[in-house]
Amino acid sequence: MVLHGVFPIRDASFVLRYYCEFYTDFGDILKQLLYKCRDLNFVACAKAVTRSLTDVYKSIRMITGLEYVDPLSDAFHQLRDLAKRFAVAFGNDHLKNREAVAVVHRDGIQFALDGFDPNQSRRGIITKPINITFLEVIIEFSPKLIRQDKAAV
């Protein structure tokens, strides 16, 4: 439905979040969905990828019931594996996927720092953003980021 324009590309995130989980049975279909979305609109695909990663991260937090996600847990390891597979799907043409990779980084950093108030740190209240470990997920896309964009993001 996404590929034929019935649903927007961002709705592919609901399916893409299961990419690793159902790869053995439906890997070819999921991979095709990811590549076709990428070909239709690179930036919208990047937003869908980021949304699927953040949704999985939120579900890990909800299932564990902890304030912070343990980066050593099996669920977090599976999330990083999902991010690695998505990063590979972006390809090796750094100029072609420049904007999309920057979008993944920008949106991922915003999610990681969501709810963080730097003014509290200035007042002596030490707080840590609850999604800070998500930075370890988006680091999988860092090799694809161009040097000029590293400073901008």
pLDDT digit string, tens, across residues 52-109: 999 999 999 999 888 888 899 999 999 999 999 999 988 887 778 888 899 999 999 9
pLDDT at 50 over 90: yes
CA distance 5 to 78: 30
What domain range is 30 assigned to?
9-152
What is the domain count for the chain? Answer: 1
| Tokens 């370890």 -> residue | 136
pLDDT of residue 89: 87
pLDDT of residue 49: 94
pLDDT of residue 66: 82
Q: Establish if 26 belongs to a structural domain.
A: yes
Q: Establish if 2 belongs to a structural domain.
A: no
CB 50 within 8 A of CB 108: yes
Q: Establish if 3 belongs to a structural domain.
A: no
Q: Establish if 99 belongs to a structural domain.
A: yes
Q: Establish if 4 belongs to a structural domain.
A: no
| pLDDT tier at 26, thresholds 50, 70, 90 | confident
